[in-house]
Amino acid sequence: MINLYLIDHHYFSLKGIVSSFIENSDYVSIVGTSFTINESISMITTITVDIILLDFNALDDNPIINFHKLANQFPTIPIIIMAQEASIFWQIELFSLGAMGFILKSEDIDLISKKIEIVYSGGTVFPRDVHTAKMIEEKAIQNSMLPTEYKTIIFLLSKGHSIKQISKILSLSDSAVEKKIKRIRSFFQVSSNCELVCTTLSMKSFCFKER
């Protein structure tokens, strides 16, 4: 049985979620609830909690500060965020801080239970877009590791140059350019030149320079 602690600022929402778990989930047990972060901190210290389900709009403060309060107080307890609607910006921010998942309140209770089970097993439950954005951010930090020649190739691809044109500009054989592009695509974990250009263009820290 997974011991879940639920924090939701809205009384009827809290009551509805608790009722849904009681009626429909065989492996998730609500061991405590509260309306505020401060109240939950005093409660969680007295009981066994496996996962905290945190309302995105908890009343105490903004989502980042609320998450920090809980994460700092209970660093070993995974925290899942739940909200009325999805916001990629906030999901990325909270994922970066260490949140283990994001759940919509409108989701079916069976799906919510499965996501809780995934987090309990050590996984994360964020949409693919969030993981992709995080990967791009990490690659952007690493882009300084790329040789200047590779950055030039990406720049030329972004300008619509063909392999033959790039080969001529860089004084390389077509096969040499193709091998370099293959390595670059592998570095950014993309499968096509179009995807490569779109990925790198989305990186604010990736600077293109002409020869």
Q: Which domain holds residue 13?
A: 2-126
Q: What is the pLDDT of residue 83?
A: 85
Of 102, 126, 150, the position where a domain reaches its end is 126
Q: Are residues 74 and 106 in the same domain?
A: yes
pLDDT surpasses 50 at 79: yes
For residues 82 and 7, state if they share a domain. Answer: yes
Tokens of 187: 């570095």
Model pTM score: 0.60
Q: Does 16 share its domain with 118? A: yes
* Residue 54, pLDDT score: 92
Is residue 115 scored above 60 in pLDDT?
A: yes
> According to the model, what pLDDT value does residue 134 have?
65
Which amino acid appears at position 168 of this protein? K
d(CA 75, CA 7): 17
Judge whether residue 47 has pLDDT over 90. yes
Tens digit of pLDDT for each residue in 35-45? Answer: 889 899 999 99
Mean per-residue pLDDT, 183-203: 79
Q: 133-151 burial, b for 16+ CB within 10 Å, e for fewer? A: beebbebbeebeebeeebb
Spatial neighbors of 148 by CB under 8 A, at least 6 apart, are 209
Of 183 and 17, the one with more pLDDT: 183
Note whether 160 and 137 are within 8 A (CB). Answer: no
Tell me if 164 is assigned to some domain: yes
Domain end: 61, 93, 126, which one? 126
Query: pLDDT at position 61, please?
Result: 67
- CATH number of the domain within which 142 lies: 1.10.10.10
pLDDT at 211: 45
Q: Is residue 99 part of a domain?
A: yes
pLDDT of residue 108: 85
Residues 164 and 197 in one domain: yes
- In a domain, residue 210? The reply is no
H-helix or E-strand containing 42? Answer: helix 37-44
Number of structural domains, the chain? 2
Residue 161 has pLDDT above 60, yes or no: yes
Same-domain pairing of 87 and 144? no
- Tell me the chain's radius of gyration from C-alpha atoms: 23
The last residue of one of the domains, among 77, 105, 126, is 126
Percent of the chain with pLDDT over 70: 82
